[in-house]
Amino acid sequence: MTADDLTRIAVTGSAVRTAEEPLLAAGRGPELMRAAAWALAEHAAALLRERGPVAGATVAALVGPGNNGGDALFALAFLRRRGVAAVAVPVRRDDDGAPRWHAEGWAALQAAGGRRADAVPPEAALVVDGVLGTGFTGEYELPAAARALPADALVLACDVPSGVDADTGEVRGEALRADATVTFGALKSGLVLGEGAARAGTVHVVDIGLGPHLPTSPAVRLGVMDEAAARAAHPAPAAEAHKYTRGVVAVVAGSERYPGAAVLASAGALHTGAGMVHHAGPQTTRDLVLTAHPEALVSAKGPEPSRADAWVAGPGLDTEHDARRRWAGVLAALEERPEAALLADASALALLTAAELRSLRAAGTPVVLTPHAGEWSRLRERVPADGADAADPLAALRAWTAEHGATVLLKGPRTLVVAPDGEAWVVTGGGPDLAMGGTGDVLSGAIGAVLAADVARRSRARRAGEDPGPAPTARLAAAAAWLHAQAGADQARAGRITTATLPTALGARVARLWWPDDAEPEAVQ
């Protein structure tokens, strides 16, 4: 891994422990511990400096019996040499009442002038959580010392907050909530997934030399979508671009009952940079889309299949009969041009069958499904797969997508996107800014635009005699979700929080992605 990869790629705690094995076998364990402890002390000092002088401040550590506790003890020793009052609080004792902790770490702290206490002192400005590390699984109960922390003390977790599963982010029982976490060797997937992400605070990744030993297969790594990755997945149009080379998106959405979905999905595609959007729907939705977006094309059936690079199907479809008819039309169009991409959302997720998925896979059609948690549960019941009922959401997604050949984007505060080959991404934005009706419709259109642009690029490559390879659907969908999440945050900061204004914020965010030197800094003027 490169230095940038340390913050962009997460691996399980189990993978990190495996990566450490050859270094430990070579006798480098003490070196690794001191490197981790030094970084922990540096970040602790930085937090103290934000509040005042480092020298004279009190730092306590909750110290467990394992290597995590050793890291904390050595960090306290380093801090003590900077004039910090360093206090170690053991959370485990043997039958004789003696602390169970790292002997060399305690000796180093004693030599530096630190002390031991049964409780965190009330004057402590910072508490280091060094109780449990990456090997923890199961249910955790906070020790008594962790229940009586000073109200204004910052909590700095060592590698992972105690009680958090470093592989999955699951918290069973209790867990400390950290203001910041210093994690070693690689970003742990449990710090960006599930409850673990909420407990970790600001995460700092420290390189301790594990890079050559960490896994390289996308099937066991988790990408963290950011601006650089989004720009790579959805690059600015070339200087010679025209509307067809930027991608044509067909939007099969909305109905007499839910007409707004057509407007919002079309807006999402347009504001994410589609060269052309063609809405297919009843007269009511066609009129609304054309009024809102005069640049769009509208018709009852949509574009000629040869013209569409991506089909967005499902948002706001109404009666079962009408929805099935329109869904069948999308599938028929994809039979004529199977290299076009499909985004299926909402009603389409209730119509999609295992047989249809097999046909789409055999034809080579890139497929992205975008369920929320309830739709994902119903989809797995209706279209099951071995392993898709795993408690670990990422493992369940990998099992389902591998069997059915479609990429799944599972919407939520931390959106997970997984492709059939196991490549996975997480989008860590997308909180309450987007918890409104219709934002998913905007997302569907946005993903459609990113998929369409990629299909158009690949079509040009094939015409030039090049082999563009398989479409990176997980990366593309994650990039669109990241733009969508950033747009929600942008418009909230600008004082607007409605779904109707979200596409404008999305367009501003895309412009800043493509042309950062020219775009206006405010998402919503």
Amino acid 430: pLDDT: 75
**Can you tell me the distance from the alpha carbon of 511 to that of 260, in angstroms, rounded to the nearest whole number?**
25
Report the percentage of the chain scoring pLDDT > 90: 93
In CATH, the number for domain 226-512 is 3.40.1190.20
For the annotated binding site for K(+), the residues are 68, 129, 162
Burial of 511 per CB tally in 10 Å (0-12, 13-18, 19+): middle
Count Cα atoms within 13 angstroms, Cβ side, for 367.
Answer: 28
Amino acid 497: pLDDT: 86
For the annotated binding site, the residues are 67-71, 129, 133-139, 159, 162, 261, 316, 372, 411-415, 440-441
Q: Which tokens in the block code for residue 504?
A: 């404008």
Q: Which tokens in the block code for residue 364?
A: 């080579």
pLDDT tens, residue by residue, 222-276: 999 999 999 999 999 999 999 999 999 999 999 999 999 999 999 999 999 999 9
Domain boundaries, the chain: 1-216, 226-512
Q: Which CATH code, of 3.40.50.300, 3.20.20.80, 3.40.50.10260, 3.40.309.10, is assigned to 1-216?
A: 3.40.50.10260
Q: What average pLDDT does this structure show over 352-374?
A: 98
pLDDT tens, residue by residue, 431-449: 788 999 999 999 999 999 9
**Can you tell me the distance from the alpha carbon of 31 to that of 40, in angstroms, rounded to the nearest whole number?**
14
Longest CA–CA separation in the chain, Å: 82
What mean pLDDT, rounded, does the chain reach?
Answer: 95
For the annotated binding site for AMP, the residues are 411-415, 440
Q: What average pLDDT does this structure show over 370-377?
A: 97
Q: Which tokens in the block code for residue 61?
A: 């550590």
- Stated pTM of the model: 0.94
Contact, 39 vs 206, CB < 8 A?
A: yes
pLDDT tens, residue by residue, 278-324: 999 999 999 999 999 999 999 999 999 999 999 999 999 987 789 99
pLDDT tens, residue by residue, 481-523: 999 999 999 999 999 889 999 999 999 999 999 999 875 544 4
For the annotated binding site for (6S)-NADPHX, the residues are 67-71, 133-139, 159, 261, 316, 372, 441
Amino acid 260: pLDDT: 97
Three-class DSSP labels, 366-407: CEEECCCHHHHHHHHHHCCCCCCCCCCHHHHHHHHHHHHCCE
Beta pairing partners, 248: 276
**Can you tell me the distance from the alpha carbon of 261 to that of 295, in angstroms, rounded to the nearest whole number?**
18
